[in-house]
Structure 1
Amino acid sequence: MVLDLVSIPNRWQGGGMAIEVRPASLFADVKAVVGPKRPDATVCWCLSYRIPAKQNVELRGTARGELVQELLAQDPPPGVLAYDGGEAVGWAGVHPRADTSFARNRRIPHVDDLDVWSVWCIRVRPGYRGKGISHRLLQGAVDFARSYGAPAIEGYPVDNQGKKVDLTMAYVGTRKLFEEAGFTRAAGTDSVLNGFPRVLMRLDLR
């Protein structure tokens, strides 16, 4: 199934901003949010959980961006983007869990045998943070998974109990963020990030 730009009805007007969340399709826009300043730099590109660990370690420099371009041409694409007008201001990585490293992650359990989707990264560009965009991205990821018939969607945020999370680790989200989107705690995990335990949050889409 191919989605056009209006297949995810996720728009929000607030704080002088009109935010729209769309399936990621344009490489330049993905690069603006998760790419490096230097094309040859080895940065995550939101691939760390999307591809096998060995491939992630071996993939260096411009090869990482090239792989992202390949993934964007696939159906489904590897995530959604938030736009303020025509500018990409945020990203959420979301995909069927079976095609991510979470399929084999021993620290994060499988609750059941459903073909669930995972949302593992929520990133907002500097200058746009604190405006509620992460909430719109998470809802957009939910709508995206639902549009592909996902029976449920999971996230693995930190349970920080209101304490500050280092910005470099904040991409996984917080338990509160997921709860406000309707997710509930389905299981604990053996994963810890920035000193906080991660929890498995689940939203049934059936």
Structure 2
Amino acid sequence: MGRFFTGVHVAASVTAVSLEVHPATADRFDDVATLLRPRREDAPACWCLYYRLTSSEFNKLKGKERPQHMRDLCEREHSPGMLAYVDDTVVGWCALGPRTEMGRLQRSRTIPKLDDRPVWSIVCFVVRAGYRRKGVARALLNGAIDYARDCGVEALESYPVDTDGARINGSFAYVGTVGMFEAAGFERVLETASRRANLPRWLMRLELS
């Protein structure tokens, strides 16, 4: 069903620009690569696979194997993430998918499995330099919610950091913030043992059905 999702248009009042959010399908892989590839060719890159794979699986993928793995994910029925555009320029990425397919999450000792419901997880945000703090992450989150609902998902789960209103470095905020998820309707379920910048991360949920 998700392949028929055509994207959403989001008016971002903060920036007075129109953002478009679309699923990361195979024909958009070049845009995924624009956001996820490393700045230097000799630098290691996660390619947003850190949570999707177990630690051993992640470490086994070398060189071009990681981008190829992400390309393969983009060719599946359900997209592995959402892309945000401003005037046809890709500016943001949000990773999501079934929690059962998130290998590291399944084995995590700090972020527990709450129950056996077939929830999807939102695990990462990437916003291009020059477009941060302008509503792109919020637009991506709203697009992810619409896409998951279109795919018939029962509930969405997230694991954001609780900043208590304070600003934190973007390198710690890639999982999103509690405030952003609460504004989108997510509810706190459990404070996890995971930390970012010495701040707690919460397991949060949004019921879709």
**In structure 1, C-alpha distance between the alignment counterparts of 2:157 and 2:29, rounded to whole Å:** 26
**Runs of 4+ with deviation above 4 angstroms:** none
Corresponding position of 1:174: 177
Corresponding position of 1:30: 32
Task: From 156, 161, 167, give the equivalent of 1:158.
Answer: 161
Q: Does 1:126 align with 2:129?
A: yes
CA displacement 1:145-187 (0-9 Å, x = unmatched): 1111111001100111122222112100111010011101011
Corresponding position of 1:94: 96
Q: Report the TM-score when normalising by structure 2.
A: 0.92
Whichever residue aligns with residue 68 of structure 2, its letter is E
Task: From 17, 24, 49, give the equivalent of 1:47.
Answer: 49
**In structure 2, C-alpha distance between the alignment counterparts of 1:48 and 1:105, rounded to whole Å:** 12
Corresponding position of 2:186: 183
Gaps of 5+ in 2: none
8 Å contact kept, 2:5–2:150: no
Greater mean alpha carbon deviation, residues 8-17 or residues 66-75? 8-17
Deviation at 1:40, TM superposition (A): 5.2
**In structure 2, C-alpha distance between the alignment counterparts of 1:66 and 1:121, rounded to whole Å:** 19
8 Å contact kept, 2:125–2:175: yes
Deviation at 1:5, TM superposition (A): 5.6
Q: Report the TM-score when normalising by structure 1.
A: 0.93
**In structure 2, C-alpha distance between the alignment counterparts of 1:40 and 1:63, rounded to whole Å:** 14
8 Å contact kept, 1:89–1:124: yes
Whichever residue aligns with residue 154 of structure 1, its letter is E
Deviation at 1:13, TM superposition (A): 4.6
Deviation at 1:21, TM superposition (A): 0.7
Whichever residue aligns with residue 134 of structure 2, its letter is K
The DSSP-based 3-state class of the residue aligned with 2:91 is strand
Gaps of 5+ in 1: none
Closer, same or farther in 2 for the Cα pair 1:84/1:4, shift >3 Å? farther
**In structure 1, C-alpha distance between the alignment counterparts of 2:34 and 2:4, rounded to whole Å:** 21
Identity %: 41
Corresponding position of 1:111: 114
Count how many residue pairs are aligned between Structure 1 and Structure 2.
205
